[in-house]
Amino acid sequence: MNQSTENLDIKNNKYSKLKKIAKECFDLIVVPVLLALFCSKILIVNATIPSSSMEDTILPGDRIIGLRLAYLFQEPEREDIIIFRFPDDESQVFIKRVIGLPEETLRIIDGRVYVNGSDTPLEEIYVKELPRGSFGPYKVPKDSYFVMGDNRNHSHDSRFWEHKYVKQENIMAKALFQYYPRLRMVE
C-alpha cells in the first residue's frame, strides 16, 4: 500500500467516524425534539393548573395532558374536562368541566343545575361544594358548551363571562391524565 492510499483510508475512516457521531447526535437530539414539537402541536396539550377552580378533581400546580384528537370523531360530552381558549380573551387557556351541551337550556337553582326544564337536577358527584345562589336561564348555542369549575364558589366560569359559551372550535383538547405531582387519569 502506498502513502496516498493510506492517507485516503485514514481520511475515509475519520469521515466515517464523524458521520456516525453526527447521526447519533441527530438521533439523540434532533429526532426527540422534532417528535416533541409534533406531539405538542398535533397530538397533545400540556397544561399547568394555576387556580383552585377545579378542586378537588385538579389542584393548583397539577400538570395535565390533554388529547387534541379526542373530539376529531365525537363531540364533547357532559362531564368531560376540556382545555380551551377563554372566550373573553383567546390568548388565555382555561380548563373546566362541560355542563351544558349545544342547544340545551340550563338553570342553576340554589346551586343545583337543571337541564331543559327538568325537575331533577344533574347528579354532580365531582362538585366540591354547592355554589351559592341561582343563575340563568342559559340557552347554549349550537356548536357551543357551557362550562363550570368543580369548585363552584371559587371558579371564574360560564356563569360570569361576558361571552358565556365555549365554541367547539376553541376547544383544544380533552383532559386525559395528570402527570405531576403524581400520575393518574383525570375524570
Ranges of each domain in the chain? 1-45, 49-185
pLDDT at 13 over 90: no
Would you name the residues annotated as active-site residues?
53, 96
Residue 28 has pLDDT above 80, yes or no: no
Least confidently predicted of 5-14, 75-84, 113-122, 170-179: 5-14
Which contacts qualify for 61-65: CB closer than 8 Å, 24 or more apart? 61/180, 61/181, 62/178, 62/180, 62/181, 63/178, 63/179, 63/180, 64/95, 64/175, 64/176, 64/177, 64/178, 64/179, 64/186, 65/175, 65/176, 65/177, 65/178, 65/179
Cα–Cα dist 36/9, whole Å: 39
Of the candidates 172, 180, 179, 162, the residue with the CA atom closest to the CA atom of residue 80: 172
- Number of H-type helices and E-type strands within the chain: 2, 11
Q: Return the minimum-mean-pLDDT range out of 26-40, 93-107, 125-139, 165-179.
A: 26-40
What integer pLDDT is reported at residue 7 of this predicted model? Answer: 54
**Cell numbers at 127, concatenated:** 362538585
Nine-digit cell string for 35: 417528535
Residue of 109, 146, 163, 147 whose CA lies nearest to 131: 109
The predicted model gives 90-99 an average pLDDT of: 96
**What's the CATH fold of domain 49-185?**
Umud Fragment, subunit A (2.10.109)
Of the listed ranges 38-47, 53-62, 114-123, the one predicted with least confidence:
38-47
DSSP 170: G
How confident is the model over 38-65, as a mean pLDDT?
88
pLDDT, residue 126, reads 94
Q: Which of the four pLDDT bands, split at 50, 70 and 90, describes residue 39? A: low
Reported as a pLDDT band with limits 50, 70 and 90, residue 24 is confident
> Which of the two residues, 40 and 136, has the higher pLDDT score?
136
Q: What is the pLDDT of residue 132?
A: 83
**Higher confidence at residue 64 or residue 8?**
64
Choose between 64 and 33: higher pLDDT.
Answer: 64
**Average pLDDT of the chain to the nearest whole number:** 88
